[in-house]
Structure 1
Amino acid sequence: MAFTEEATARGWGDGLPLIPPTEARVRQFLSKNNRYADEVICTLPPADGECTVEKIAINAVMAGASAESLPLLIAALEAMGDPDFELFGLNTTTAPVLPLTVVNGPVRERLDIPYRHGCLGGARTQAVAIGRALRLVIRNVAGQEANVTSQTTFGSPGRIGGILFGEWEERSPWAPFAERRGVQGDAVSVYGTMGTMNIIDTTSTRGPEFLEMIGKSLGYPGANGYSPAMPFAEMMVAINPVWAEIIHRDVPSLEDVQEIIWTNTGIDADRLLPKHREQLEAQDRIIGGRAYVSVEPKDVLIVCCGGTGGLHATGFHSFGSCITQTRAIVPGPQEG
């Protein structure tokens, strides 16, 4: 408790209890991996801190993450450090945005990454510590601090434990998300999300109906995807395996799935305030009198996960300037 209080006072902590990262604990953590402690993985803004393997290990120990999680942590941070992910804007903006991490491959089982019921929070899983470790790195290495380097108006609960989950590949009718992005096997993808948005549908029975409901639910004027300040935006949607099976039965092509959702995100431009509409028109983003959550259907990103009770999908609205990044998880020697 004394260390947690000191760490909080020094700005290292997040308000929750921390494990003291003693030299012995950090050495033990590193001894189970094959990376040099002083290896620089990436540079993280806004502080432009050099994110070394040792710094990752220190934050992982504090969060209670296992040594076996280091390859995943490294891959996720490499992805966040890519210039196209635009971590500076994500970390400093007034928005509540944070990096969401999707995990693919057998590593889901080895690290207890949730992908079934309650995968976005509430499931009993060791992966909570991995998500928190990533958040501590963003705090302590990237230097994100509310009202100092981050001007976030409200923040988000996800800025404590992160949002980290797996895809239920075994129940998905589509290829794994990372594989669709060119990386097979163990992989992570990071996406800049504003949080989670529940979508309930208790009446639909056919694939196109579910997709229409999802698309129409995503379309609201205050989402960043409709903001003239953002030149583009992706849109991630998590679909439960029951709906996914029905959707695939009725709409076999994933490209068609994306297009149906995208088409239904269109909102009548007259719903926008006049200046809002004028600015979008100047950017050629009003198409046939309608505004869409992303520029093209291909920017609608689909993952399959969640429980088998059905009834719900989840939308993850985009920040707008972050381009999703995917990286392979390179295993340590203990994983063969």
Structure 2
Amino acid sequence: MTIHKIRPSGRPANVPHTLVSHDCGPEACEIDWLVSDRVEVDDDISAFTSLSLEQGWGDGLPLVPPTENRVRAFLSENHRYPDKVIGRMPDSTECTVEKIVVNAVMAGARPESLELIIAALEGVTQPDFELYGVNATTASVYPAFVVNGPIRKELDIPCSYGCAGGVATQANAIGRAIRLVMRNVAGQVAGVTSQTTFGSPGRLASIVMGEFEERSPWAPLAERRGVSGNAVTAMNTMGTMNILDTTSTGAMAFIEMIGKSVAYPAANCFSPAMEYSEMYIGINPICADLIAREISNIEDVQEAIWKFAKLPGDWLQEHHRVQVEAQGRIREDGFIYATPEPKDIILFVAGGLGGLHALGLHSFGSSLAQTRALATVDAKATQAA
């Protein structure tokens, strides 16, 4: 079996970079556009997985060998040139469509997921996402993604029961494809380019979940961030935190439990090392309905949670307190708030209908969420014109 070197890439004159207007199929391209190196190996998942571990390509789970035919077949069902640069990694390495597709094939992702993977990677390669810190830190942080729009159903992105992990859907392969790009293009290797102390299961397949728009009393997350329709919001999280409240009955009681639960001294948002932080909170539909009956405006919900997501400055050890005080983060009321402003409490609706829960996703700190629209064939054709 051959998995990629191919002659230098090229494309016909006067053809736009972003649009492949033909379907060339696995064998029919007149110009050999793929530039990845080829390696000879048996066409066997076990053999390729062993080789991938030896070469540092793998994540420890079985990988689909990215043969030339598989990569071409994946590309033939999309409308992207393989040498299109989607973003630059922290070391300035170019992340091209071809590199993305090779890793998507290995992860077992379907061709129709390419635009979601690309939009997610466009998000994490934005300067304000600060991917270098997310990848290299001693913390357990990793990118997580919330998907909006009809694409959720088309790709079977979970937004209900078990949406943050464990459901058998294509979201796992999509998240894994992104993680393989982090490993093989961004070069994230524990103990080498990443100093993560403990790591996280999220560094295998990330979190890719949908917002339960059909059960949300508020506008979708992406729409509230200025992007309608199919979109993905790239966040960075230290991991999932379950917030259970089977006792409260009113909106403010639930809000108080959510706000107080996410505020604990060792969270990054209270660390002197992080002067700025966002907080991501998923509210399950039952809890969201109860809150919305009393507080219809989601900005008011953000502000109410923010007022509870705080710690007294004198809770911290003196050395910590002196540092955060020097940063101006202890307010006149004597509290340190999890985020600078209520707007930095980023809310979305997701989760199953079996109980009253919220999902806390503490951020890395200096990295900001990014929302990107998914490209469509029509949108690319417009760009080409």
Aligned to 1:39: 84
- Using the alignment, how far apart are the partners of 2:348 and 2:118 within structure 1? 22
- Using the alignment, how far apart are the partners of 2:207 and 2:184 within structure 1? 18
**Of 134, 139, 152, which aligns to 2:178?**
134
Q: What pairs up with 1:1-336 in 2 under 5 angstroms?
A: 1-45=46-90, 47-287=91-331, 288-332=333-377
Instruction: Check the 8 A contact 1:71/1:332 in 2, yes or no.
Output: no
Instruction: Please report the TM-score for the alignment, with normalisation by the length of structure 1.
Output: 0.98
Structure 1 residue 82: deviation in Å? 0.4
Letter in 2 for 1:317: H
Structure 1 residue 2: deviation in Å? 0.5
Letter in 1 for 2:370: Q
**RMSD (Å) for aligned C-alpha atoms:** 1.2
* 1:61 alignment partner, SS class: helix
Larger relative contact order (Cα-Cα within 8 Å, sequence gap ≥ 6): 1
Instruction: Check the 8 A contact 1:167/1:305 in 2, yes or no.
Output: yes
Letter in 2 for 1:301: I
* 1:100 alignment partner, SS class: strand
> Number of paired residues?
334
- Using the alignment, how far apart are the partners of 1:120 and 1:18 within structure 2? 23
Runs of 4+, deviation exceeding 4 Å: none
* 2:219 alignment partner, SS class: coil
Letter in 2 for 1:211: I
* 1:286 alignment partner, SS class: coil
* 1:34 alignment partner, SS class: coil
Instruction: Check the 8 A contact 1:220/1:267 in 2, yes or no.
Output: yes
Letter in 2 for 1:111: L
- Using the alignment, how far apart are the partners of 1:71 and 1:32 within structure 2? 11
- Using the alignment, how far apart are the partners of 2:255 and 2:244 within structure 1? 12
Please identify, of 181-190 and 282-291, the stretch whose mean Cα deviation from structure 2 is larger: 282-291
Instruction: Check the 8 A contact 1:241/1:310 in 2, yes or no.
Output: no
Structure 1 residue 332: deviation in Å? 4.0
Q: Which consecutive unaligned segments of at least 5 residues does structure 1 have?
A: none
- Using the alignment, how far apart are the partners of 2:376 and 2:107 within structure 1? 21
Structure 1 residue 299: deviation in Å? 0.3
Letter in 2 for 1:229: A
Instruction: Check the 8 A contact 1:49/1:143 in 2, yes or no.
Output: no
- Using the alignment, how far apart are the partners of 1:331 and 1:124 within structure 2? 26
Q: Which consecutive unaligned segments of at least 5 residues does structure 2 have?
A: 1-45
Instruction: Check the 8 A contact 1:75/1:327 in 2, yes or no.
Output: yes
Please identify, of 266-275 and 237-246, the stretch whose mean Cα deviation from structure 2 is larger: 266-275
